Amino acid sequence: MVLPRWKKLLTGSPDGKLLQPYTFNSRRGGGTYNERNVVGIIEGTDPGKKDEFIIISAHFDHVGIRKAVEGDSIYNGADDNAAGTCTLLGLAQTFHENNYQPGRTILFASVSGEEMGLHGSRHLASNMPLPVENAYSNVNFEMTGHSEDLGRGNYFMTGCSFSNLDDVIQEFTEGKSQNLIDTVAMSDRLFYMSDNIAFARIEREEAIVWTDPKFTSLEN
Ligand SMILES: [Zn+2]
């Protein structure tokens, strides 16, 4: 449904393709899965920075059908992660409609296979359509609609020890109705549970190797 619009909005990978197919085997599902990521690129305009790229990501899969709760076995994924996927699409659309010309290149990555072990982001990190050494940062949207516990207009981020983004956001939100809640205590634990970890490993030159027990324990 969204693909024709993406085609208008963005260029695809350098090979002209928006879909990145991949295959994974799951111990949990007990089978082989043919999946795909969706990628789009807005080329940067600053001659000194355009080779660097920022990954904006969100996973679009959810858990499907599981044990019934009160007779309902369909696990709806509005929170996790239709909301994050909509955020990603909304950003891409806004950038396009306002003819936003970023200094650095932006790689929009809507990835799949997250719930079964971050398979889409792992595949993308190991098969980047742009030179992987030029990856500058990643902003990953996970459950952007999940506000009932925090209160309207409040949000939190994970990976605080991986960047200075929380400091930057605090400056922008001062005196506005949005607040970044200080959740450093839960930040690192949750950081290991979403796609951002695949991209964080690029910086550590570990994109190909997946041996961290914190990570491998997620795939069960
Ligand atoms: Zn999720």
Q: How much is the pLDDT for 161? A: 75
> Domains of the chain, with CATH numbers?
3-145+195-208 (3.40.630.10)
CA of 46 to the centre of ligand 1 (A): 33
CA of 190 to the centre of ligand 1 (A): 11
* Virtual torsion, Cα 36, 37, 43, 47, nearest 10 deg: -110
User: Under the phi-then-psi rule, with left for phi > 0, alpha for psi from -120 to 50, and beta for the rest, what region is 57?
Assistant: beta
Name which of 138, 44, 42 is nearest 95 in CA terms: 42
Backbone angles phi, psi at 139, to 5 degrees: -115, 115
Backbone angles phi, psi at 54, to 5 degrees: -105, 130
pTM over 0.85: no
CA of 87 to the centre of ligand 1 (A): 14
Q: How much is the pLDDT for 29? A: 66
**pLDDT > 90? residue 147:** no
Provide the 3-class DSSP secondary structure of residue 127: coil
CA of 140 to the centre of ligand 1 (A): 10
**pLDDT > 60? residue 7:** no
CA of 15 to the centre of ligand 1 (A): 29
Q: How far is CA 168 from CA 97, 165, 172, in A?
A: 25, 5, 7
Mean pLDDT in residue range 169-188: 74
For residue range 121-146, list pLDDT tens digits in order.
999 998 998 998 899 999 999 988 76
Q: How much is the pLDDT for 203? A: 64
Mean pLDDT in residue range 93-110: 91
Q: How much is the pLDDT for 49? A: 95
CA of 19 to the centre of ligand 1 (A): 20
Buried b (16+ CB within 10 A) or exposed e, 89-112: bebbbebbeeeeebebbbbbbbbb
CA of 61 to the centre of ligand 1 (A): 8
Q: How much is the pLDDT for 158? A: 84
CA angle 74, 80, 84 (to 5 degrees): 140
Provide the 3-class DSSP secondary structure of residue 215: helix
For the chain, give the percent of residues with pLDDT over 70. 81
**pLDDT > 80? residue 44:** yes
Of residues 184 and 99, the one with the higher pLDDT is 99
152 burial via Cβ count (<10 Å: 0-12, 13-18, 19+):
exposed
CA of 175 to the centre of ligand 1 (A): 30
